[in-house]
Structures are given as structure tokens and as C-alpha cells.
Amino acid sequence: MSGEARLREAIAALAVSLFERGLTHGSTGNISARTEDGGLLVTPTGSSFGRLDPARLSRFDAAGRHVGGDRPTKEMPLHEAFYETRHGAGAVVHLHCAHCVALSTLPEADEEDFAPALTPYSVMLLGRVKLLPFFVPGDAAIGAAIRGLAGRHAAVMLAHHGPVVAGRTVESAVNAVEELEATARLALLTRGLGARRLTPDQVEAVTTRFGDPA
């Protein structure tokens, strides 16, 4: 099996796993990943993570031309923005997971640090998550907002919409977006209870040991 064939199978398998655990639903969410030749594989528009056909993934060449497969997700602007600005990005995952979206609607949601440091794993896998304002889905302005962050964030949260996370591989990007949803769930479960966050010194210790999120 070629490297691209393995990547196609991995995207479909991870998508099914996300779908079956309710981390995205219906035809929501999209995944993209770099191919060995510098191109992209992207989940098609209107497709369900529960029923992806690896052979029908949208294929882009290294120049960004759509050269095969079904029509890509309308959220291409946010994927392209991450690849253009985030060093080492090899995959991007965007979901509509419920706890992240719920947390983004609350008035106390922190625009500069959306995922509270309740565990070391959110620090390790996500770093500081930027909460962006509401955009109409598919709006090119989403891409412009991500470019404006100049690659400083591995993850952003689109208010009332869902998280977008980049990783070096599709597996690492999926792991990170799952961590973001788990962190949002913890934040909602402990809301109003005076939960203790990691101290700045503890966050620094984790960052020093594990470095910038991939």
C-alpha cells in the first residue's frame, strides 16, 4: 500500500472514530492532511465522518489545485490559513463538538486562553487556544483571522461553531482536538465550583519539558 493510500485509510478510520463517539455529527466537521508530494487530502463537502470513502477524498496538488476526488469542504479557507502560517502543520481537524461550542457561548469564555489549564495535557497538546468571534461558515474571513495570528496557536475556537486544530500528523491533530473537547467538558463540569487551575509556574514547567504543541 502506498503512503497516500495509507493516509486516505487513516483519515477515514479516524473520522469514523470521532463520529461514533459523538465528537461531530451529521455532515459536520472536516479533516485535511499533507501528502508526501506536498499536496493535500481533504474530506469532501457535505460528507459524513461516519461514511467516508477513502477513494473519494478531495485531492489537491502542491500548487493548491483541486486535481481529484469530490468537491472539498467549504471550510478550505481555514485549512489553507493554518498550512500557510503554522510551522510544521501536516494536518488540520475541524469539529463541531458540543462541549467546546457550549463553552464558546458563555460570557466568561476567555478570548486569549479559551481552554483553561485544568490538566497538564491541554498545555502539552494545545498551548493557549485563541477564541475567535462568530463567522458565517465557509467565510474567507475565517482564514484571514487565522492568518492574523501568524502561526502562534496550534488551535483556535470559532465561537458558536467549533474548534480547529493543527498537528504534525493527522493522528496528532485528532488527539489534540479530542483533548480540547475534554478540557471544555471539564470546564463546564467545574463551572462555578472554584476549580483550581494549574499555576503559571506549573504551566511553565510543563511547557519547558514538553515544548510547543506539535
Catalytic residue numbers read 75, 121
Number of neighbouring beta carbons within 10 Å of residue 90: 20
Q: Are 134 and 161 in contact (CB under 8 A)?
A: yes
Give the residue among 6, 1, 12 at the shortest CA–CA distance from 56: 12
Non-local CB neighbours of 193 within 8 Å, separated by 6+ positions: none
C-alpha cell at 176: 489534540
Residue 170 host element (H or E)? helix 170-189
Q: What are phi and psi of 155, to 5 degrees?
A: -145, 145
**DSSP one-letter code for 117:** -
